[in-house]
């Protein structure tokens, strides 16, 4: 029991953000290609600055990190929640229409939603309106950088201030914008000077204190925060929160930019590389002035010059882009696995919803019939820029051929989508046949044993028999499909690696599925053949026992299949773990072999797991499993302090189910309805 809990905690410790963001640590030095959801006035300028508002009156702009973050955890020793610590820094610039200054401001915001349909501009900063201002149902935490005077009823200290707002627009704590300068004096930071300013916000979830600091971006972080505010954020936040910025203008306006942003949960955010940040866009003219005095003439002439220059830059960029896309066509022509978009469009009836046979993993899968040959295919649509590197990788995966792998026939890229074309496999996934069979169909032991051997040989091919090592990274029952003759075929290999190519290389996305994920993979994000072996071990147990690797529907000692099987084994009753649906119609030696091999493959230390070659030798009876009662013995290597039992409560059925089902392909009968990750 205690082993069960601790191993569960171990899994959860590294998997608490499944279904949310797995990377809670990001740095954007400029926002080209950033994963942001923007709306209304908010745009990314061509040099990569995030412009929240321009100088139009009464507008709003939002930009949030696209994936929500899990901000609340249960306190194991009380019923209360603990809000996660976080640390963030960003560089911003507020450019007023004239040197006299502009108006309104923006707020760093944590909000349960990234949409604010009712929100108003001006003093409401695009977050709230009169009717909900101050209500605890808002669940909003914001740090405002405000350049408007103590408006009407809002008793803001100064026209140039920084404040902490909880659920409402009047600040709980606020101070004039200053920092302690080199001579130890408080020096004003004029927020709307148009110059870049850096801000740091830290929340300590244990001490429950928010710190806010600002300084001109040319100076280091001040030793003393501007605001130190004691507050327990768990009273405000919800479990799932979006993080980002909201800004507005009113009668008075300014262009508000974020130039770089770093964020980290439960750790110190990484430093921004100031030299890489986009520069503050040049002062925008008034445009609406009617009096033609000499300054406006100069302004007009210079804006004409600026416009001319911008047009020049833009046309050069367009020209370059056009020629670059011709290059692309050039090299694409030499790729033997390329499909024409038109054919795939026709094949899938225009990517019609009714043709969807699976959702999850990396994208949506459609069934299609190729117009030229009448062949049935599965077409997977991934939203991902098809870089040359990416395509090269797909080309190389397209050369993998093994009867127990699902053949990747080819690809096509189109407007930020990558389409991958696979063989269509009619009988659906092993996951479905085990857990949602049609007409109570029970997969026999003979079929199960065969499928396990098939998948082992497919994995062996990926690991050792091809010209380069291919790590699958997401071996699980929903990625095992059964063909018309009930042969097992493994799909989705290598995709995780592809997926990582297109992303910011400084962030590692941990790809995998709860319960199949080797501890070292969860910890470091580094997949290896032996992390595949771990997942294969989980699959062995799952198939023999007819239970998912983690299943909260079972009692506490049995939630983690691995622990339960090893406990049965220690007590000399390993066959108690066998799927009751097969009754006693199985070959005892084979069953014991599969269960024990499952335990051996699932050992926590990667070095002691067998290779896939050894695994196939054991399964084929070429070698007998050296079994010395080691099951479970190395669980004790887990360091207790790594297992924070507060994560126990986080396990939610939804999340586990979601990750199990996200298969990439599907048989005719298979339709998984969850949204993709
Ligand atoms: C400013 O943003 C508003 C709202 O998105 C937009 O309608 C307007 O055209 C923008 N003005 C300029 C000068 O870009
Ligand atoms: C911009 O317009 C305002 C009022 O419309 C005016 O007071 C200000 O001088 C103008 N600034 C410039 C740079 O023309
Ligand atoms: C620090 O700020 C004070 C007050 O604004 C100013 O007089 C002093 O010159 C500043 N020192 C430095 C090194 O900039
Ligand atoms: C907040 O500021 C206080 C006072 O300077 C400091 O003791 C504390 O460590 C800071 N907290 C964080 C999370 O930076
Ligand atoms: C968790 O709850 C205990 C008991 O109420 C309390 O002493 C402790 O401070 C809480 N921990 C956090 C991080 O809030």
For residues 539-562, give the mean pLDDT. Answer: 87
Reading the block at residue 111, the tokens are 């909000």
Domain that holds residue 313: 296-330
Q: What is the pLDDT of residue 245?
A: 97
141, 91: one domain:
yes
Q: Is residue 408 part of a domain?
A: no
CA of 263 from ligand 5 middle (Å) equals 25
CB 515 within 8 A of CB 548: yes
Which residue among 276, 307, 342 closes a domain? Answer: 276
CA of 225 from ligand 3 middle (Å) equals 18
403 marked ligand binding residue: no
The ligand whose atoms approach the alpha carbon of 82 most closely is 5
Low-confidence winner among 435-444, 508-517, 518-527, 613-622 (lowest mean pLDDT):
508-517
Half-sphere exposure of 337 (CA within 13 A, CB side): 21
For residues 449-457, give the mean pLDDT. Answer: 96
Whether residue 263 is predicted with pLDDT greater than 70 in this model: the reply is yes
Q: Is residue 608 part of a domain?
A: yes
Q: Which residue in 124, 144, 110, 115 sits closest to 237, CA to CA? A: 110
Q: Best substitution site from 54, 95, 121, 247 to test ligand 1's pocket, by max atoms within 8 Å of Cβ?
A: 54
Total number of domains constituting the chain: 3
Half-sphere exposure of 631 (CA within 13 A, CB side): 23
Q: Which atom of ligand 2 is nearest to the CA of 296?
A: 14
Q: Is residue 361 part of a domain?
A: no
Percent helix, strand and coil across the chain, each rounded to 5? 30, 25, 45
Ligand 1 proximity of 253 Cβ (cutoff 6 Å)? no
268, 321: one domain:
no
Whether residue 669 is predicted with pLDDT greater than 60 in this model: the reply is no
The ligand whose atoms approach the alpha carbon of 298 most closely is 2
Q: Best substitution site from 225, 233, 264, 268 to test ligand 4's pocket, by max atoms within 8 Å of Cβ?
A: 225
Out of 197-206, 303-312, 392-401, give the one with best mean pLDDT.
197-206
Q: What is the pLDDT of residue 336?
A: 65
Q: Is residue 167 part of a domain?
A: yes
Q: Best substitution site from 40, 41, 43, 60 to test ligand 1's pocket, by max atoms within 8 Å of Cβ?
A: 41
The ligand whose atoms approach the alpha carbon of 303 most closely is 2
Q: Best substitution site from 72, 76, 77, 208 to test ligand 5's pocket, by max atoms within 8 Å of Cβ?
A: 77
66's CB contacts (< 8 A; 6+ apart) are 35, 36, 37
Q: What are phi and psi of 291, to 5 degrees?
A: -80, 120
The ligand whose atoms approach the alpha carbon of 227 most closely is 4
For residues 444-468, give the mean pLDDT. Answer: 93
Q: How many whole angstroms separate alpha carbon 297 and alpha carbon 610?
A: 78
**DSSP assignment string, 376-408:** EEEEEEEE----HHHHHHHHHHTT---TTB--E
CA of 180 from ligand 5 middle (Å) equals 34
pLDDT in tens, 29-60: 999 888 899 999 999 988 889 999 999 999 99
pLDDT in tens, 580-610: 999 889 999 999 999 999 999 988 888 889 9
Task: Supply the residue whose CA is at minimum distance from atom 14 of ligand 1.
Answer: 54
Q: Is residue 238 part of a domain?
A: yes
The band of 652, judged by pLDDT with boundaries at 50, 70 and 90, is very low
Whether residue 132 is predicted with pLDDT greater than 80 in this model: the reply is yes
Whether residue 666 is predicted with pLDDT greater than 70 in this model: the reply is no
Q: How many whole angstroms separate alpha carbon 360 and alpha carbon 46?
A: 33
Q: What is the pLDDT of residue 661?
A: 52
Q: Which residue in 651, 599, 644 sits closest to 625, CA to CA? A: 599
The band of 617, judged by pLDDT with boundaries at 50, 70 and 90, is very high
pLDDT in tens, 490-524: 987 766 555 444 443 333 445 567 788 888 887 77
Q: Is residue 413 part of a domain?
A: no
Q: How many whole angstroms separate alpha carbon 590 and alpha carbon 568?
A: 17
152, 252: one domain:
yes
Q: Is residue 603 part of a domain?
A: yes
CA of 229 from ligand 5 middle (Å) equals 19
Number of H helices, E strands in the chain: 13, 27
Q: What is the pLDDT of residue 503?
A: 42
Q: How many whole angstroms separate alpha carbon 304 and alpha carbon 496?
A: 49
Q: Which atom of ligand 3 is nearest to the CA of 188?
A: 5
pTM over 0.85, yes/no: no
Q: How many whole angstroms separate alpha carbon 600 and alpha carbon 611?
A: 11
Annotated catalytic sites, by residue?
A: 474
Bigger pLDDT: 145 vs 371:
145
CA of 213 from ligand 4 middle (Å) equals 10
For residues 263-279, give the mean pLDDT. Answer: 91
Whether residue 306 is predicted with pLDDT greater than 80 in this model: the reply is yes
Q: Which atom of ligand 4 is nearest to the CA of 203?
A: 13
Output the domain CATH number for residue 600: 1.10.510.10
Three-state SS string over 227-258 comes to EEEECCHHHCCCCEEEEEEEEECCCCCCEEEE
Place of tokens 């989980």: 538
Whether residue 332 is predicted with pLDDT greater than 70 in this model: the reply is no
CA of 182 from ligand 3 middle (Å) equals 7
Q: What is the pLDDT of residue 17?
A: 33
534, 439: one domain:
yes
Which residues have C-beta atoms less than 6 Å from ligand 5? 75, 77-78, 82, 206
Which residues have C-beta atoms less than 6 Å from ligand 4? 202, 204, 209, 211, 224-225, 228
Whether residue 15 is predicted with pLDDT greater than 60 in this model: the reply is no
CA of 243 from ligand 1 middle (Å) equals 24
190, 308: one domain:
no
641's CB contacts (< 8 A; 6+ apart) are none
Q: What percent of the chain has pLDDT over 90?
A: 38
Q: What is the pLDDT of residue 648?
A: 33
Q: Is residue 416 part of a domain?
A: no
441, 587: one domain:
yes
CB 96 within 8 A of CB 257: no
**DSSP assignment string, 564-609:** HHHHHHHTT-GGGGS-GGGTT-S-HHHHHHHHHHHHHHT-SSGGGS
Q: What is the pLDDT of residue 384?
A: 67
Low-confidence winner among 50-54, 101-105, 269-273, 590-594 (lowest mean pLDDT):
101-105
Q: What percent of the chain has pLDDT over 70?
A: 77
Output the domain CATH number for residue 61: 2.60.120.200
400's CB contacts (< 8 A; 6+ apart) are 407, 408, 461, 462, 466, 470, 493, 494
308, 270: one domain:
no
Whether residue 330 is predicted with pLDDT greater than 80 in this model: the reply is no
How buried is 357 (Cβ within 10 angstroms: 0-12 exposed, 13-18 middle, 19+ buried)? buried
Whether residue 643 is predicted with pLDDT greater than 60 in this model: the reply is no
CB 131 within 8 A of CB 95: no
Q: Which atom of ligand 2 is nearest to the CA of 286?
A: 1
326, 212: one domain:
no
Q: What are phi and psi of 305, to 5 degrees?
A: -60, -45
The band of 328, judged by pLDDT with boundaries at 50, 70 and 90, is very low
Whether residue 98 is predicted with pLDDT greater than 90 in this model: the reply is no
123, 41: one domain:
yes
The band of 672, judged by pLDDT with boundaries at 50, 70 and 90, is very low
How buried is 13 (Cβ within 10 angstroms: 0-12 exposed, 13-18 middle, 19+ buried)? buried
For residues 72-94, give the mean pLDDT. Answer: 90
Q: What is the pLDDT of residue 313?
A: 79
39, 185: one domain:
yes
308, 272: one domain:
no
Reading the block at residue 78, the tokens are 């009380």
172, 249: one domain:
yes
Q: How many whole angstroms separate alpha carbon 454 and alpha carbon 490?
A: 9
Q: What is the pLDDT of residue 645?
A: 31
């Amino acid at each position: 029991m205690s082993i069960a809990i601790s191993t569960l905690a171990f899994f959860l410790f590294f998997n608490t953000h499944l279904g949310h963001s797995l990377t809670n640590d990001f740095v954007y030095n400029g926002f080209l290609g950033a994963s942001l959801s923007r709306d209304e006035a908010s745009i990314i300028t061509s040099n990569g600055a995030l412009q929240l508002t321009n100088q139009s009156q009464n507008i709003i702009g939002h930009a949030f990190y696209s994936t929500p973050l899990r901000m609340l955890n249960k306190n194991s020793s009380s019923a209360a929640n603990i809000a996660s610590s976080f640390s963030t820094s960003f560089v911003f610039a507020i450019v007023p229409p004239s040197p006299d200054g502009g108006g309104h401001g923006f707020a760093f915001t944590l909000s349960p939603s990234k949409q604010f349909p009712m929100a108003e501009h001006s003093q409401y900063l695009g977050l709230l309106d009169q009717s909900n201002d101050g209500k605890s149902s808002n669940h909003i935490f914001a740090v405002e950088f405000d350049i408007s005077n103590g408006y009407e009823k809002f008793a803001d200290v100064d026209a140039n201030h920084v404040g902490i707002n909880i659920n409402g627009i009047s600040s709980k704590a606020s101070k004039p914008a200053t920092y302690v300068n080199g001579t130890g004096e408080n020096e004003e930071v004029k927020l709307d000077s148009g110059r870049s300013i850096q801000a740091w916000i830290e929340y300590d979830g244990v001490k429950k204190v928010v710190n806010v600091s600002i300084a001109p971006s040319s100076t280091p972080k001040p030793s003393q925060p501007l605001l130190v505010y004691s507050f327990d954020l768990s009273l405000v936040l919800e479990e799932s929160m979006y993080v980002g910025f909201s800004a507005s203008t009113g009668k008075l306006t300014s262009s508000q930019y974020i130039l770089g942003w770093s964020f980290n949960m439960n750790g110190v955010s990484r430093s921004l590389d100031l030299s890489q940040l986009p520069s503050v866009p040049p002062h925008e003219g008034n445009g609406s002035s009617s009096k033609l005095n000499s300054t406006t003439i100069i302004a007009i002439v210079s804006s004409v010059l600026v416009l001319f220059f911008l047009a020049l830059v833009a046309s050069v960029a367009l020209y370059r882009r056009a020629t670059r896309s011709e290059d692309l066509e050039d090299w694409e022509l030499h790729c033997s696995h390329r499909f024409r978009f038109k054919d795939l469009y026709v094949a899938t009836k225009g990517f019609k919803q009714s043709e969807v046979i699976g959702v999850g993993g990396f994208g949506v899968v459609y069934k299609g019939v190729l117009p030229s040959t009448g062949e049935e295919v599965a077409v997977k649509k991934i939203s991902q820029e098809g870089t040359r590197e990416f395509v090269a990788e797909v080309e190389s995966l397209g050369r993998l051929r093994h009867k127990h792998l699902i053949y990747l026939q080819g690809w096509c890229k189109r407007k930020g989508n990558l389409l991958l074309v696979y063989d269509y496999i009619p009988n659906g996934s092993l996951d479905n046949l085990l857990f949602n069979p049609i007409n109570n169909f029970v997969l026999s032991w003979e079929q199960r044993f065969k499928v396990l051997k098939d998948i082992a040989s497919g994995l062996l091919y990926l690991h050792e028999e091809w010209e380069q090592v291919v790590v699958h990274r997401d071996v699980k029952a929903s990625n095992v499909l059964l063909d018309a003759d009930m042969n097992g075929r493994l799909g989705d290999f290598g995709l995780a690696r592809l997926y990582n190519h297109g992303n910011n290389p400084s962030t590692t996305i941990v790809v995998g599925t709860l319960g199949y994920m080797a501890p070292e993979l969860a910890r470091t994000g580094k997949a290896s053949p032996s992390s595949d072996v771990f997942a294969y071990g989980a699959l062995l147990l799952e198939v023999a026992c007819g239970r998912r690797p983690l299943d909260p529907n079972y009692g506490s000692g049995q939630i983690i299949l691995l622990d339960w099987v090893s406990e049965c084994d220690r007590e000399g009753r390993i066959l108690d773990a066998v799927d009751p649906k097969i009754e006693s119609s199985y070959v005892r030696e084979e069953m014991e072999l599969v269960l024990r091999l499952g335990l051996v493959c699932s050992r926590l230390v990667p070095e002691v797991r067998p290779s896939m070659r050894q695994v196939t030798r054991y399964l084929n009876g070429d070698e007998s499993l050296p079994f010395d009662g080691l099951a479970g013995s190395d669980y004790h290597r887990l360091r207790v302090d790594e297992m924070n039992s507060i994560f126990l409560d986080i396990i939610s059925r939804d999340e586990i189910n979601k990750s199990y089902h996200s298969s990439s392909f599907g048989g005719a009968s298979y339709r998984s309805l969850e949204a993709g990750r």
